[in-house]
């Protein structure tokens, strides 16, 4: 029996709970990437327009053709407050997909932030607005609004598959994506890792522990030190 093909525009999806979003927002992207298995981090080409920008939320995925932003406008029309638009612009830098007007609409609609595998413009204005915008570059050329795309289908952004409803955590280091089913466990691991790293930093700053406790063991395993030997 054949199953009907989903429409190009999927209007709704399961979002991460506000409680988990709030918890995830407490952690740097680096902590979450580490405890998620050192996977899920987008290419460093996708960077914030300002290093202080940070966003956490559920992904609303958008697929567009290079240089065309029709489906971004559609995404903005169906987005709910707190959503993060994650846009597969195919890495094209020949024209901007968003600028100040669209960002202003995002802010008024309660959209939490935008991640674009493509270019943007009006960067000074967006920085002044303080809206979290991540992109691979800037270009003053404007986009077309002619070509169909898809909303809330799986997309590939910066080397990572992103699906609607995935957790997005982005800061000055970049963007991390976590599958919804893994979020509770990842947050528990992040809590422990943050506590361990805080204790490590305190040990360094106080002079009580100036090198990691695992170093000699790792050097022995690598064959640099003989069994029982220490630095």
Is residue 116 within 8 Å of residue 87, measured between CB atoms?
Answer: yes
Is residue 59 within 8 Å of residue 163, measured between CB atoms?
Answer: yes
Is residue 161 within 8 Å of residue 176, measured between CB atoms?
Answer: no
What is the spatial distance between Cα 189 and Cα 193, in angstroms, rounded to a whole number? 6
User: What is residue 2's predicted lDDT score, i.e. its pLDDT?
Assistant: 63
Q: What does each C-alpha distance from 218 to 54, 65, 204, 208 come to in angstroms?
A: 35, 48, 20, 21
Is residue 28 within 8 Å of residue 191, measured between CB atoms?
Answer: no
Is residue 82 within 8 Å of residue 108, measured between CB atoms?
Answer: no
What is the spatial distance between Cα 216 and Cα 200, in angstroms, rounded to a whole number? 17
Written as six digits, the tokens of 227 are 């069994």
Q: Quick one: which of 61, 59, 79, 76 has its CA closest to 15? A: 59
Q: Does pTM top 0.95 for this prediction?
A: no
| pLDDT per residue rounded down to tens, the chain (231 residues) | 566 788 999 999 999 999 999 999 999 999 999 999 999 999 999 999 999 999 999 999 999 999 999 999 999 999 999 999 999 999 999 999 999 999 999 999 999 999 999 999 999 999 999 999 999 999 999 999 999 999 999 999 999 999 999 999 999 999 999 999 999 999 999 999 999 999 999 999 999 999 999 999 999 999 999 998 988
pLDDT digit string, tens, across residues 8-39: 999 999 999 999 999 999 999 999 999 999 99
What is the spatial distance between Cα 229 and Cα 211, in angstroms, rounded to a whole number? 16
| Residue 22, phi then psi, degrees to nearest 5 | -60, -40
Is residue 101 within 8 Å of residue 76, measured between CB atoms?
Answer: no
Question: Which domains, from first to last, does the chain contain?
Answer: 18-180 (3.50.30.40)
pLDDT digit string, tens, across residues 156-184: 999 999 999 999 999 999 999 999 999 99
User: What is residue 4's predicted lDDT score, i.e. its pLDDT?
Assistant: 77
């Amino acid at each position: 029996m054949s199953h009907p093909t989903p429409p190009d525009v999927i209007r709704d999806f399961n979002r991460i709970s506000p409680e988990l979003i709030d918890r995830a927002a407490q952690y740097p992207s680096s902590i979450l990437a580490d405890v998620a298995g050192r996977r899920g981090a987008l290419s460093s080409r996708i960077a914030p327009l300002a290093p202080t920008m940070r966003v956490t939320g559920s992904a609303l995925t958008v697929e567009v053709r290079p240089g065309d932003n029709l489906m971004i406008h559609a995404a903005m029309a169906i987005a709910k407050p707190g959503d993060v638009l994650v846009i597969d612009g195919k890495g094209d830098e020949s024209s901007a997909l968003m600028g100040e007007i669209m960002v202003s609409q995002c802010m008024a609609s309660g959209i939490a932030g935008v991640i674009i595998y493509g270019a943007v413009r009006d960067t000074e204005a967006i920085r002044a607005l303080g809206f979290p915008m991540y992109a691979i570059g800037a270009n003053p050329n404007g986009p077309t609004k002619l070509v169909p795309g898809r909303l809330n289908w799986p997309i590939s952004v910066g080397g990572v598959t992103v699906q609607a409803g995935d957790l997005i955590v982005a800061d000055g280091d970049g963007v991390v994506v976590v599958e919804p089913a893994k979020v509770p466990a990842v947050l528990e691991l992040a809590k422990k890792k943050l506590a361990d790293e805080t204790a490590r930093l305190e040990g360094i700053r106080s002079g009580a522990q100036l090198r990691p406790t695992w170093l000699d063991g790792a050097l022995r395993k690598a064959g640099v030190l003989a069994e029982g030997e220490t630095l």
